[in-house]
Amino acid sequence: MVIQDRDLKSIQDVRILVQKAKQAQLLLKKKTQEEIDKIVKGMSEVAYKESDRLAKMAAEETGFGVYEDKIIKNKFASRGVYNNIKDMKTIGIINHDTEKKIMDIATPVGVIAGLIPSTNPTSTTIYKALIAIKSGNAIVFSPHPSALNAIQETTRILAEKAVELGAPEGIISCMSIPTMEGTDVLMKHDDVALILATGGSAMVKAAYSSGTPALGVGPGNVPAFIERTADIPLAVKRVLDSKTFDNGTICASEQAIVTEDCIKHQVKAELIKQGAYILQGEEVNKVGRVIQDEKARFNPKIAGRSAMDIAKMADIEVPEGTRVLVAEQRHVGKEYPFSREKLSPLLALYSEEDWEKACDKCIELLEYGGLGHTLAIHSNNEDIIMEFALRKPASRILVNTPSALGAIGSTTNLDASLTLGCGAVGGSATSDNVNPLNLINIRRLACGVKEAEDVLEEYDELNKPEQNNSSLKDIVVDEQLLDHIAKLIMTKL
């Protein structure tokens, strides 16, 4: 009976929050771009100022990750995201083509349901609040229960600053009683226009099956290919910097290194030199049993934990200060725990005969659990880099950069984002680094440039025999030219 009451309270809480959010959004959408930008700037500044405190709350409440890295993530989510979006036109007329006589008018979608994970709770809340307000929307957060206090506090400081700068009350809010039933009602509410989902596969699938338009992200099972022309010490440094950042809780962090047989010994030596421990014999199986159970279900207790902590869980001894645990692997699938997404400083190490076979192994890893997400390549061979870009089922191909930081736009010029679309191949409605432009509808005003009879005359002209013959000849020539160009391009690749 107590559980049932909690569910009912959660549902009632959601209904009240959505009602207030709808009323607030009707007022917010009347504001100018300048007024909106002032609010967003203030929110960014207060979030940046509170980055340290919020990071500490998240680390203490969830037990995940590295406190110092969470500070960096909060600062990225506030200042990094703000710098990326501050000059975007998102309100009113955003484009006017005077030649074609077409005008693009941005309109907010309305109330957004923002689902927040426990792995990146405060940074994701900051980021989603900023892009929602920047695009003229209201947002209601569904927090992960294990990070409730940190997410609520982040919501509070952002909402207070927004209201102080002219936003209406209720424009940013958070569920106080997070339950599956309450979140389900939030996602299916008639007044919720869009779901912005970041989290596990089950939650993202629930968002897409809710009947409400959704932008969700799938899991990342990111392979990092170290090719023979790479600067091996630097490539390994980048991988380990990325894999240990916040103990691997960013979904774009590397899950496997794929290299070539001719440099495998150099890669292994460099991994050991830089603090990785190569598991031997039964150690691989012991850690594997900690990663997942006999039914291949992921063990959430290892998420965001250090390599030393995981070694203790697996009852193995590793050198003090070990940064990452590495297991050499040959195969991919449920029977091979290291081949999956691990959300912790654990890496699989594969080696193949040449780059073509390494390419196939990367695809196999993506197909197992990271379709459409991210792939990293460390190489100085432009032809091979281009081949990977053309062949890989990933939305982000990152070259010579730490994957976790490159994918979110920290060490690259990709849009600064903490929600990374995986495209249709990965079950996502977008392949973008989600930003304010994904949270608006565009209304197009188009002026007439010809009358109906003019259109008919044009069609009649095209139907004349001499015109048809001329067109057919042109098409043949064009096809021959295009075929020639295509062959030249393929030769270059």
pLDDT in tens, 403-412: 999 999 999 9
Q: What confidence tens digit (pLDDT) does each residue in 95-151 have?
A: 999 999 999 999 999 999 999 999 999 999 999 999 999 999 999 999 999 999 999
Decide: residue 443, CB within 10 A, 0-12 exposed, 13-18 middle, 19+ buried. Answer: exposed
- Looking at residue 58, its amino acid is A
Phi, psi of 104 (to 5 degrees): -100, 125
Q: Note the pTM of the prediction, 2 decimals.
A: 0.90
Compute the distance between CA of residue 466 and CA of residue 231 in angstroms, rounded to an integer: 62
User: What is the average per-residue pLDDT within 179-191?
Assistant: 96
Q: Please give the positions annotated as active site.
A: 251
pLDDT category of residue 202 using cuts at 50, 70 and 90 = confident
pLDDT category of residue 1 using cuts at 50, 70 and 90 = very low
Q: What confidence tens digit (pLDDT) does each residue in 61-104 have?
A: 999 999 999 999 999 999 999 999 999 999 999 999 999 999 99
User: What is the average per-residue pLDDT within 35-51?
Assistant: 98
Rounded alpha-carbon distances, angstroms, from residue 34 to 30, 88, 143, 324: 12, 11, 30, 47
Q: What is the DSSP string of 319-373?
A: -TT--EEEEE-S--STT-GGGS--SSSEEEEEEESSHHHHHHHHHHHHHHHTTEE
In the numeric block, the tokens 């960013």 are attached to 250
Write down the mean pLDDT value for the chain.
Answer: 92
Compute the distance between CA of residue 288 and CA of residue 298 in angstroms, rounded to an integer: 10
What class has domain 2-217+435-443? alpha beta
Say if residues 376 and 406 touch (Cβ distance below 8 Å): yes
Compute the distance between CA of residue 248 and CA of residue 245 in angstroms, rounded to an integer: 6
Looking at residue 346, its pLDDT comes to 98
Whether the pLDDT of residue 314 is over 70: the answer is: yes
Rounded alpha-carbon distances, angstroms, from residue 76 to 43, 110, 121, 460: 13, 26, 13, 59
User: What is the average per-residue pLDDT within 319-347?
Assistant: 97
Phi, psi of 275 (to 5 degrees): 105, 5
Q: What confidence tens digit (pLDDT) does each residue in 359-396 have?
A: 999 999 999 999 999 999 999 999 999 999 998 999 99
Element (H, E) at 405: helix 403-407
Q: What is the DSSP string of 131-182?
A: HHHHTT-EEEEEE-GGGHHHHHHHHHHHHHHHHHTTPPTTSEEE-SS--HHH
Lowest mean pLDDT among 145-149, 157-161, 212-216, 242-246: 212-216
Whether the pLDDT of residue 492 is over 50: the answer is: no
Same fold, 2-217+435-443 and 222-414: no
Element (H, E) at 102: strand 102-108
Looking at residue 426, its pLDDT comes to 87
DSSP assignment letter at 118: S
Domain boundaries, the chain: 2-217+435-443, 222-414, 453-492
Looking at residue 44, its pLDDT comes to 98
Whether the pLDDT of residue 256 is over 70: the answer is: yes
Rounded alpha-carbon distances, angstroms, from residue 45 to 74, 86, 183, 409, 478: 11, 13, 30, 20, 56
Q: How far apart are the first and last CA of the chain?
A: 66
Nearest CA-CA partner of 418 in 86, 217, 127, 40: 127
Element (H, E) at 404: helix 403-407
CB-CB neighbours of 48 under 10 Å: 18
Say if residues 121 and 151 touch (Cβ distance below 8 Å): yes
Compute the distance between CA of residue 47 and CA of residue 54 in angstroms, rounded to an integer: 9
pLDDT category of residue 198 using cuts at 50, 70 and 90 = confident
Rounded alpha-carbon distances, angstroms, from residue 100 to 124, 449, 456, 466: 40, 8, 20, 30
pLDDT category of residue 483 using cuts at 50, 70 and 90 = low
Q: What confidence tens digit (pLDDT) does each residue in 435-481 have?
A: 999 999 999 999 999 888 888 777 777 666 654 444 444 444 455 55
Compute the distance between CA of residue 145 and CA of residue 161 in angstroms, rounded to an integer: 25
Q: What angle do CA 362, 365, 367 make, to 5 degrees?
A: 110
User: What is the average per-residue pLDDT within 1-11?
Assistant: 76
CATH number given to 222-414: 3.40.309.10
Looking at residue 459, its pLDDT comes to 74
Nearest CA-CA partner of 45 in 126, 116, 135, 122: 126
As a whole-number percent, the residues of the chain with pLDDT over 90 amount to: 84
pLDDT category of residue 59 using cuts at 50, 70 and 90 = very high
